[in-house]
């Protein structure tokens, strides 16, 4: 009466291919979503692009700023915008960035490999290991 499936349950479950995650691409200079020539919003096409966009969105969002995000989404160091260099702690920014990125379900490990003041900005490079691969992202956080 019921069809019989060949194979084991574990084998059937592991053979299902999960779709590639995507997000919309952002133009960080204008802080607007990027559009294609026909007016549609651009989506990420590779996993590395996806992880890079997610990392930039997390690191450019102040925690508790938007009600749609959980309490783990975003960073606290954006409150330091406008402070003098002597009052900004780069190790604290490094720790908060790593914790914020690792709170995302798709990111397994993140490491800030370089952080420095460049002109009026704090710029850092993050090595991210996601569920499907690794990528390196350079983020400039704010202008002092």
Residue 65 in any domain: the answer is yes
**Does some domain include residue 2?**
no
Residue 6 belongs to a domain: no
Q: How many domains does the chain have?
A: 1
- The answer as to whether 13 is a domain residue is no
Top pLDDT among 64 and 106 is at 106
Query: Where in the sequence is the domain holding 47, given as residue range(s)?
Result: 41-143
Asked if residue 70 is part of any domain, the answer here is yes
pLDDT of 109-127, one tens digit each?
Answer: 999 999 988 887 888 899 9
Give me the CATH number covering residue 90.
Answer: 3.10.450.40
| Higher-confidence position of 111 and 59 | 111
Q: What is the pTM of this model?
A: 0.78
Q: Round to whole Å and give the CA distance between 57 and 54.
A: 5
Which percentage of the chain shows pLDDT scores above 90? 31
128 or 68, higher pLDDT = 128
pLDDT at residue 77 tops 90: no
* 105 pLDDT more than 50: yes
Residue 24 located in a structural domain: no
């Amino acid at each position: 009466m019921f069809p019989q499936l060949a194979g084991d349950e574990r084998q059937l479950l592991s053979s299902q291919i999960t779709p590639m995650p995507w997000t919309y691409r952002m133009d960080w200079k204008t802080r607007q979503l990027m559009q294609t020539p026909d007016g549609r919003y651009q989506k990420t096409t590779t996993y590395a692009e996806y992880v890079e966009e997610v990392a930039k969105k997390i690191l450019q969002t102040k925690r508790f700023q938007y009600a749609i995000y959980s309490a783990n989404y975003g960073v606290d160091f954006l409150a330091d915008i406008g402070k003098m260099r002597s009052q900004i702690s780069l190790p604290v920014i490094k720790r908060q960035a790593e914790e914020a990125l690792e709170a995302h379900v798709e990111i397994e490990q993140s490491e800030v490999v370089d952080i420095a003041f460049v002109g009026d900005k704090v710029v850092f490079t993050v090595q991210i290991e996601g569920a499907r691969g690794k990528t390196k992202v350079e983020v400039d956080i704010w202008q002092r």
